[in-house]
Amino acid sequence: MKNKNIVIIGGNSGIGNSVVEKLEAEGANIFSYSRSATGDFQLDVTSDFKELSGLPELIDGLVYCPGSINLKPFHRFSIEDFKNDYEINVLGAVKVLQACMKGLKKSNTASVVLYSTVAVQVGLGFHASIASAKGAVEGLTRSLAAEWAPNKVRVNAIAPSLTDTPLANQLLGNEDKKEASNKRHPLGRYGQPEDIAAATVYLLSDAASWMTGQILHLDGGMSSVKGM
């Protein structure tokens, strides 16, 4: 990853921050955008924008981290809830992808990493809104992978299960909740930001140069293995 130009959206905390740390350790040039002022550039993905200030002319990698966890019974979801989740997870990514498209196509080895959720693959109660939005992210991933393949731009997504990030504080707020989450995963633990960051760096790297249009299920076995 040395000297590669990597754009990180939402790199100030959680998975995004872990990705930034790993990439910096490997010598990448990081262009970090976040809603707070802690990144290189400030960006609210729900705002109306068509360009990103400070982008390098050539972009070797793009990681879109913003997401949401909005869980409740279906009858309590409003249409606004669905719209908000879609705005953050899908339309924000679309706007960023369009803003970065020229730079990505100039690289000849570019890689895009988006994030889905295990709830798209596995039916989970109370996940109707976020599973719908992330399902759209998976569709976007495959469509762009096909469209941008002639330009040598790879597009993949990672679908984690519950990961210990600020977004998940309410679900992992005490030891009982943590233990219950551990038991739901065949490998006996919920995810850490470093787990997802390691896979993200792999997808960005030349080691994954023959991989595109894939949804990587990084979920402690939840989507494919039945626990004992």
Catalytic residues: 116, 134
Is the CB of residue 4 less than 8 Å from the CB of residue 56?
A: no
Is the CB of residue 159 less than 8 Å from the CB of residue 117?
A: yes
* Structure-token pair, residue 223: 């989507």
Tokens 């992808």 correspond to: 97
CA 200 – CA 202 distance, rounded (Å): 5
* Structure-token pair, residue 203: 């997808």
CA 156 – CA 75 distance, rounded (Å): 33
Cα–Cα separations (whole angstroms), residue 210 to 57, 104, 152, 167, 207: 24, 17, 10, 32, 8
